[in-house]
Amino acid sequence: MPAPEAAGDALLLVDLQVDYFADDELARCRHDVVAACNRLADAAHRHGVPVVEIRTEHEPDRSTWTLTMLEDDQGVVVRDTPGAQRAEGLEPGEADCVVKTRDSAFFGTDLGERLAALDVRRVVLCGVSTESCVAATARDAFAHDLQVVLVSDATASLDPDEHDHTLEMLRVQHRQQVRTADEVVAAWDGDAPEGS
């Protein structure tokens, strides 16, 4: 049975894949982000919180490529390539998988239905990149009437200032919580006041 603070939660791991850590800034922080995500997944499993690994996978024939990928004539996270594999060190344990082709994990997927079937009322979001796929998923979670916790040290961006700006914007505009991985784990463990 989930701990009281964990009841109704789901952990979403967004785009923790090789291609998304190719940039120097993201490569630099990959180890820390992945370690924070692993801590969150471990705690989620202890408390019965569903874990969903969200992966982007594009078709080699370009049929799912975004406009910018087509303009740049460059595919990323193409199915069955090394770049589409999990980021090194990521070990989420037992996790459902949702495959997407656009920034939001809700767009063109059954994520909303899966979460509703599990009676999820709040999603804990981590992954990359903060200002694109994480933010798009957070906005769509808001549109699905889900509360959101954004995990500041388990998300990352090409630009650290953009990371901070995006988290603050989502906190203010959608009243979404911003916590550290340790704060989320402490709340699930019952070591933090509810709502902290």
Domain span at residue 118? Answer: 9-189
Quick one: pLDDT at residue 4? 63
Share of the chain above pLDDT 70, in %: 95
Quick check: is 183 in a domain? yes
Number of folded domains in the chain? Answer: 1
Does 80 map to a domain? yes
**What confidence tier does 196 reach under pLDDT thresholds 50, 70, 90?**
very low
Rg (CA), the chain: 16
Judge whether 195 lies within some domain: no
Condensed to tens digits (0 to 9), the pLDDT of residues 53-77 reads 999 999 999 999 999 999 999 999 9
Q: Does residue 143 lie within any of the structural domains?
A: yes
Nearest in space to 154 (alpha carbons), one of 3, 2, 13, 4 = 13
Q: Is the dihedral of CA 112, 118, 121, 124 positive or negative?
A: negative
- Asked if residue 129 has pLDDT above 80, the reply is yes
Task: Report whether 17 contacts 133 (CB < 8 A).
Answer: no
Contact at 8 Å (CB) between 111 and 105? yes
Query: Which contiguous run of DSSP H or E holds residue 8?
Result: none
Is residue 46 a part of any domain in this protein? yes
Q: Model pTM?
A: 0.93
Residue 38 belongs to domain with CATH number: 3.40.50.850
**Residue 2: inside a domain, yes or no?**
no
Residue found by looking up tokens 């203010």 in the block = 172
